[in-house]
Amino acid sequence: MRSLLEDAGPGDLDLWARTINPQFVRVLRTIGFDRPWVRAEGAHLYDADGVRYLDMLGGFGMYNVGRNNPRVRDALVQALGLDTPGMLAMGVTALPGLLAERLLALAPPRLERCLFTSTGTEAVEAALKLGRAATRRARVISTDHAFHGLTLGALSANGNAEFTDRFGPLLPGFERVPFGDLDALEAELRREDVAVFIVEPIQGKGVNLPPAGYLEGAQALCRRYGTLLCVDEVQTGFGRTGTMFAFEHWGLEPDLVPVSKSLSGGYVPVGALLMSTAVHEAVFDSMEHAVSHGSTFAPNELGMVAGLATLQELEDEQLVERSARLGARLLELTTPFVDELDVVRDVRGLGLMWAIEFQGDGMAYRMLERAQRGLFAQLVVVPLFTDHHILTQVAGHKIAVLKVLPPLMLSGSDLDEFVGALRETIESAQHMPRSLTKFALTAARAR
C-alpha cells in the first residue's frame, strides 16, 4: 500500500479527474484548494511542503475526536488481530450489541432499539421507511432548507433546490413547511395522515437555529396528531453542539433519531437509527418480518469498534464539555463582529457548530451578488485558506454564509488563531480590492 501511494504521489488531482470527478477538480483548482495533502493529526492537515493547515471544516463534522485519533486507530488495529467472526448474516456477534447498548444508554428512555446503517443518509432512509410502516401512513413532512442526505428517499425530504431540481420526479407523499413555523406544521399534521415529521435541530446548510419554542411545539403537535418525530442528528450528534445530542438543549424525546458521521471516528463508515420500541415492534412484529429491513455491511465489526472507541474518547477526553466551552468562547469573540464590521449581518451557533453571515450595500458587493448570490463568502473562505492556512466552507448555495465544524479537541490557541485570521480577512474583503473582485467573478464564471 505504501508503494502504491508513493507511486501515485500526494493528492494526484489528474488521477482523480480522469477516474472520479473532473468538475470537482476544476472547482479545487479555481479556488486554490488544490493542495497535495500528505498527513493529518487532530485539528490539523499537512501538505507536501510541510505547511500546517488548521481544519475548521472537520470533514463536514466527521472528525469530532480529531483526525487520525490514535486511540480509535489502536482499537481498530487490535480488532483486526482478533479474527472476529465478522458479519454472519444468519447469526449475531457481540460487537453490534455492545455498541447499540452504549448508544441507547446515551439517549432518552423513549429510544430503546438500534438499527445499524453505513451512512447518515441510509439512517434517514430507514427512519422514513420504518416510520411509514409503523404508522400505516404515507406522508412525510420536512422543512425548507433541510438537508437529510442525497439518496432518493432522503432527497425527497431535502429542502434545497440545488440538490433536488435535476433529479425528479422524487418520491410522492413528501411536503415541506417553513422551518420555525408551527402553524404551517399543524396545518399539515391535523390531516392525521403524516407518518413522520423529520427535522434537523439546527439546520446544517446555514447553521439556522430554531426559534424559541419551535422544537418543543413540534413535538407536542406530533404527539397530538399521531405523527412520529424524527430528529436528524447526523451532523449535530456526539457533542457537536455542546451536548451529546442536540435535541437535549430542548428536552426532546423523539421517536426516531438517525446518527452517523462522527460515530465513525473518521475511520470506518457507520451509522444508526435509534428508535422507540413502539416503532420497532410495529415493523419487526413477527418472525416472518424479522428481516424487514437491514443493510449488508452495516453491523460490520470494524465499524462497531470505531463507534465504541469514539464514544469512549468523547467520554475520556470530555469532548462534549469542551465543545460547549469553546463554542461559548467562539461566540463571545465573534459576536462583536456584527457591530464592528460593515459586511457582517449575523453570527450564530451552538457548541462548535458556528456560522457567520455577510451582507453589504456597496457597489462592488452588489456586483458580486448579481454575478452569483452568496459569492462574497468566497472572498473570505479563499484567503483564509491561501493566506492563513485555515480550512472552512461556504455553507450552502447562494447564501453568503461561512460555516465551521472543527474537531472538538480543538485547542484554545487554535480558536484564537481562527478568530484573528477571520477578522483580518473580513476587514480586507469588505474593502473589496480589485484583485479579490476579479478572482470572485472568475470563480463565478467557472461554475
| Residue 28 maps to a domain | yes
Give the pLDDT of residue 412: 96
Query: Which residue, chain included where needed, has cell 480522469?
Result: 18
Q: How many domains does the chain have?
A: 2
Per-residue pLDDT at 4:
74
Specify which residues 115 forms β-bridges with: 273
Same domain for 241 and 327, yes or no, is no
Look at residue 142 in the predicted model and tell me its pLDDT: 98
Torsions phi, psi for 110 (to 5 deg): -60, -30
- What pLDDT score was predicted for residue 407? 98
Same domain membership, residue 373 and residue 273? no
Give the whole-angstrom CA distance, residue 302 versus residue 288: 29
Examine the domain organization and report whether 303 and 356 are in the same domain.
Answer: no
DSSP lists the bridge partners of residue 357 as 346, 401
Residues 270 and 307 in one domain: yes
Has residue 179 been placed in a domain? yes
> What pLDDT is recorded for position 373?
65
Task: Pick the last residue of a domain from 277, 292, 316.
Answer: 316
All residue ranges of the chain with pLDDT < 50 are: none
* SS3 per-residue string spanning the chain: CHHHHHHHCCCCHHHHHHHCCHHHHHHHHHHCCCCCEEEEEECEEEECCCCEEEECCHHHHCCCCCECCHHHHHHHHHHHCCCCCCCCCCCCCHHHHHHHHHHHHHCCCCEEEEEEECCHHHHHHHHHHHHHHHHCCCEEEEECCCCCCCCHHHHHCCCCHHHHHHHCCCCCCEEEECCCCHHHHHHHHCCCCEEEEEECCCECCCCECCCCCHHHHHHHHHHHHCCEEEECCCCCCCCCCCCCCHHHHHCCCCCEEEECHHHHCCCCCCEEEEEEHHHHHHHCCCHHHCCCCCCCCCCCHHHHHHHHHHHHHHHHCCHHHHHHHHHHHHHHHHCCHHHHCCCEEEEEEECCEEEEEECCCCHHHHHHHHHCCCHHHHHHHHHHHHCCCEECEECCCCCCEEEECCCCCCCHHHHHHHHHHHHHHHHHHHCCCHHHHHHHHHHHHHC
Contact between 79 and 302 under an 8 Å Cβ cutoff? The reply is yes
107 and 215 housed in the same domain: yes
Same domain, 199 and 274: yes
Residue 24 lies in a domain: yes
pLDDT recorded at residue 442: 56
**Domain boundaries, position 287:** 71-316
Residue among 370, 356, 373 nearest 426 (CA): 356
CATH number, domain of 439, equals 3.90.1150.10
- Specify the residue for cell string 470533514: 59
CATH of the domain at 119: 3.40.640.10
Question: What confidence score (pLDDT) does residue 179 get?
Answer: 97
Q: What is the reported pLDDT for 74?
A: 97
**Are 372 and 293 contained in the same domain?**
no
Kindly state whether residues 162 and 207 are assigned to the same domain: yes
Q: Are residues 194 and 248 in the same domain?
A: yes
* Last residue of one domain, picked from the residues 288, 316, 344: 316
Task: Answer yes or no: is 6 within a domain.
Answer: no
Check whether residue 35 and residue 128 sit in a common domain. Answer: no
Distance CA 328, CA 340 (A): 19
**326 and 312 within one domain:** no
> Quick one: pLDDT at residue 100?
98
Total length of the chain = 447
Q: Are 140 and 195 in contact (CB under 8 A)?
A: yes
Domain ends where: 316, 345, 380?
Answer: 316
Instruction: Let me know if residue 9 belongs to a domain.
Output: no
User: Which positions ≥6 away from 173 have C-beta within 8 Å?
Assistant: 138, 139, 140
pTM exceeds cut of 0.85: yes
Same domain, 190 and 81: yes
